[in-house]
Amino acid sequence: MRHCSVQVRGLLTRDELDRYNGLIEVGSYLEDQGRHDLAYTVQKEIDLLIMPAIERLKEKSRARDRQTADYLKSLHEDGDDEASSEEQ
């Protein structure tokens, strides 16, 4: 079974995480039994389960990018203000 990243697991709700752990356990058991056809189905279910957490991770990244852009813009504006006050 393929695990999702620690970052994604950190953004799963308690219910999602419980379901994720159960599905991983079932999938691992099926793989141990050689039932890769059924383990594939379980893996697809895990992939669907983690999609909302992946979107939450992407949104956190976009928010961080916006904050960084705002910070850099404020530094640039502060530099412009200081330059114009020195000219006077």
State pLDDT tens for residues 55-88.
999 999 999 999 999 999 998 887 766 656 665 5
| Gap between the Cα atoms of 75 and 57, Å rounded | 27
State pLDDT tens for residues 24-59.
999 999 999 999 999 999 999 999 999 999 999 999
Structure tokens of 40? 């594939």
Element (H, E) at 58: helix 36-87
